[in-house]
Structure 1
């Protein structure tokens, strides 16, 4: 069996990579150990705005937007003495029926065509799977485990086992990408090592069915409930908006094992219900919060992405989302190489760009985890009877957590400053935090979004490869277009003279990659446009 790219793992990261590669005409074979449509674990609850922007390009954003919680279910985050107890504060986040039109909230101002979407992986993954499996050029091999692979100068040969029959097969591809999770076989095979902090916190996590809980919760509803009391602190997520819930019991540093505390007792303390309350355990989803990033993301023709490359406490929902960002960064680079216009060095950009960013995001998450652990250890004993203490804790909880649930910085602020295919011009990209950022067109940053006169998003008009934004019609772009054509580099010229745009667009010309990051900018084409094209193609 031969293909262009072998993808090991068909979770959200692998599926996103396959979708994007297919959109570029790349043949993909995916190996997945689970059966087709086997339900995933109850993990990610959030699709970030940056991810939704890319899903918009791939044609699945609206499908996802139509799934998950009921349309009118608030996506708020409520902080209470228990889920059914007294409210301390609330972070308002619009329901999906108001997501595009809501104003006034801490994340409704975001400059994007696709705001974030709260949806559990139980609903997300089947949509991605069905969409990907229907695409021509994508072959999905379920109940198939890649056990080993060998590399040579022209590609990779993987050995895979059919887990039902024991039959062994060979899959030959130009490249192989491990999207096979935290225990990644591919990562281990290329000798990459996870480095960082192996244990930050343990979380006793339980997926439950509790049809009677919603009626006991003081209105209005929320997507997430933080339970804050001196007995147990935990987090509860509404999964279907009716009867299924995910309960995270955050274990204290003095509780080193998952069975350190009674699970049923803890759930009841977090929910604020007595022994008479009935619920069923659907599954146990215990997990360890870590901060680990692989020391390398590549060995020649083999790459790793997602949890195979990095693991951290999932604050701000940036576990899966960072993995999808890996996949969509890698996809266009692999396609460029396969299509012949990308030079060998273009593939060096993947590790140079994604490894520093994932390390940085992991530290944001770890720092936030440390603050949350400290806050949970300082819950006043009288919080349920002392209104002043509830007011104080509410203020502190809001200030600490609004940045993770409305994390504009992690969505739009990160930049690539070590890439071999981005032409820096001496200006330093603006710093960002988890919650805040400054729009910028410094090369390496995400090109700020704006709406075109015809109602499309700027990103809707981007072509494959590179797009040259021309804000001044007097700027001669023919030499650059000619150099790109001679090299075979895809280049779309987008005429934007007179179009209203953010103030960050100060130059007459801006060259963007189709992953929306700025590659070069200037007021005129360089004197040697061929040299610029060589750099962008990974030849220089």
Structure 2
């Protein structure tokens, strides 16, 4: 088309549909690798996001540290001295049952006591709502060279061929249609993803686990009514109405989740005002303002595939689940950071096209695992809410004993989701075409809360501090990083082999004595996303085959080896 409703084609290496946290993080990482990016977003620039995610996982913060935004995020959100505790009460203003202590952001790096103060990383988790997080990511991304941001632009479809993708997008204000040519496209366009629908991927799983009537309120007088030490999250447990409340600004804005019961199938079937007052524990005279209604359905849905040719899915476009442990947005960001270094390798020319097969092979199985963790915990929480005793608010010794028992149960059930080391550090990639197993051990199992540090290929390289005071991850290069624990091991053959493909390789000689016991090999080769790709006592004889597998040529290498073995048999 050449009329006034169609403009000339725009171009970029990668087109991203959706400028939420997942799309923005993907753009940030791609541009750090010299990849040009075009982002298509329906909202206006800096239009406030919904009040959604309240938690940035440690693994996410590790990557934000590398991308240069971790401190900006640490400086935002709740007041610096506001406790990030999770407290369980009969109502928000009622009797406290138990408390999970979590350091405020002022003490996040220095606190050493409590279940959430042990994190083996330079970047522990951070509690911050998406209304504060997303604008920081947007401002940072918009200022990067190589980023084109098209706001108020509706993605309308695409075609693809052997060399790229041609997408069509419409300016929502002028009606002008734009053609966008890119090498690859990623749908980060949420649960109703148009990209997912066009590639024919299907969401599979449990469509409804629970409905949640959620209300974002302004209530300046509420904090004064809450007894004791403030908290970030409040769980209300009483026989009338169970719910959860999050402090948003630490002063007057709050997000209140009313967990509907099975016999309450519709959001409007429950009196919102009455339920909210029962959760807060306030009377009819208490004044508050509804800022917005944020009702949502808890699900466990995972797309049956994350890719069609040159088009990929990430974040809610690929999976939706109950956000226990705060792993909705964080899982999407993990998708983005897994995919971005693979796309970067191929666009830069040192990665083979087949390297991109690793994305679905790695992320889809992990998504299934994490979504089941979340669903199982959601079902336990539903049972716990149904089992709240009628006499939980009874005064006296009997009531005190009952509340202590309920408090212990609530603590044991929930400490794992709020101090979720396993979900952060325990997951591993197996069956990946670019992970080279050594046959020695299997990766250790993990739970929501617990994990065993390991250097089994596919696991996250356990963190430690270098002799010069830097974080191990701060010394990682943009491609692969070889950790050498014995300088006598000659790695020059690997350096020559990687140089032949222009593959970035950083050799890091480890001199500190404070090394986790999981490091039992003299050589540990790590990927840009901190997962171990290979380990050994010395380099393999066929070092070019190792490099070939790392850049995605494993299938061809195995076919060649099979052919040579067959020729040997024939001879």
Match of 1:157 among 138, 161, 166: 166
Return the alpha-carbon distance in structure 2 between the equivalents of residues 318 and 340 of structure 1. Answer: 33
Measured after TM superposition, the shift of residue 498 of structure 1 is 4.7
1:240-389 equivalences under 5 Å are 240-385=249-394, 386-389=399-402
Measured after TM superposition, the shift of residue 500 of structure 1 is 2.2
Match of 1:513 among 498, 521, 527: 527
Q: Check the 8 A contact 1:470/1:497 in 2, yes or no.
A: no
Deviation string 1:62-106 (CA, Å, 9 cap, x unpaired) is 000000000000000000000000000000000000000001111
TM (normalized to structure 1)? 1.00
Return the alpha-carbon distance in structure 1 between the equivalents of residues 353 and 177 of structure 2. Answer: 32
Return the alpha-carbon distance in structure 2 between the equivalents of residues 44 and 11 of structure 1. Answer: 11
Deviation string 1:148-196 (CA, Å, 9 cap, x unpaired) is 0000000000000000000001010000000000000000000000000
1:168-207 equivalences under 5 Å are 168-207=177-216
SS of the equivalent of 2:135 reads helix
Return the alpha-carbon distance in structure 1 between the equivalents of residues 253 and 241 of structure 2. Answer: 21
Other-structure match for 1:394: 407
Return the alpha-carbon distance in structure 1 between the equivalents of residues 483 and 370 of structure 2. Answer: 30
Q: Check the 8 A contact 1:107/1:408 in 2, yes or no.
A: no
Other-structure match for 2:470: 456
SS of the equivalent of 1:402 reads helix
Measured after TM superposition, the shift of residue 271 of structure 1 is 0.3
2:515 paired with 1:501? yes
Let me know the Cα RMSD of the aligned residues. 0.6
Segments of 4+ in structure 1 off by > 4 A?
none
SS of the equivalent of 1:161 reads strand
Q: Check the 8 A contact 2:466/2:512 in 1, yes or no.
A: no
Other-structure match for 1:434: 448
Other-structure match for 1:83: 92
Deviation string 1:327-381 (CA, Å, 9 cap, x unpaired) is 0000000010001111121000000000000110000000000000000000000
2:84 paired with 1:71? no
Return the alpha-carbon distance in structure 2 between the equivalents of residues 2 and 141 of structure 1. Answer: 12
Deviation string 1:196-221 (CA, Å, 9 cap, x unpaired) is 00000000000000000000001200
Q: Check the 8 A contact 2:366/2:427 in 1, yes or no.
A: yes
1:132-151 equivalences under 5 Å are 132-151=141-160
2:17 paired with 1:3? no
1:114-125 equivalences under 5 Å are 114-125=123-134
| Larger gyration radius, structure 1 or structure 2 | 2
TM (normalized to structure 2)? 0.94
1:209-248 equivalences under 5 Å are 209-248=218-257
Q: Check the 8 A contact 2:443/2:459 in 1, yes or no.
A: yes
Return the alpha-carbon distance in structure 2 between the equivalents of residues 175 and 105 of structure 1. Answer: 45
Match of 1:409 among 408, 415, 422: 422
SS of the equivalent of 1:67 reads coil
Deviation string 1:409-441 (CA, Å, 9 cap, x unpaired) is 000000000110000012100000000000000
Return the alpha-carbon distance in structure 2 between the equivalents of residues 95 and 260 of structure 1. Answer: 38
Q: Check the 8 A contact 1:473/1:497 in 2, yes or no.
A: no
Match of 1:485 among 491, 499, 513: 499
SS of the equivalent of 1:177 reads strand
Measured after TM superposition, the shift of residue 487 of structure 1 is 1.9
Match of 2:483 among 469, 487, 504: 469
Q: Check the 8 A contact 1:413/1:438 in 2, yes or no.
A: yes
Measured after TM superposition, the shift of residue 406 of structure 1 is 0.5
Q: Check the 8 A contact 2:481/2:506 in 1, yes or no.
A: yes
SS of the equivalent of 2:343 reads helix
Measured after TM superposition, the shift of residue 497 of structure 1 is 3.7
SS of the equivalent of 2:533 reads strand
Match of 1:423 among 436, 439, 451: 436
Return the alpha-carbon distance in structure 2 between the equivalents of residues 34 and 246 of structure 1. Answer: 23
Return the alpha-carbon distance in structure 2 between the equivalents of residues 9 and 491 of structure 1. Answer: 32
Q: Check the 8 A contact 2:196/2:318 in 1, yes or no.
A: yes
2:221 paired with 1:208? no
SS of the equivalent of 2:269 reads coil
Other-structure match for 1:24: 33
Q: Check the 8 A contact 2:467/2:512 in 1, yes or no.
A: no
Return the alpha-carbon distance in structure 2 between the equivalents of residues 403 and 498 of structure 1. Answer: 32
Q: Check the 8 A contact 1:412/1:437 in 2, yes or no.
A: yes
Q: Aligned residue pairs: how many? A: 540
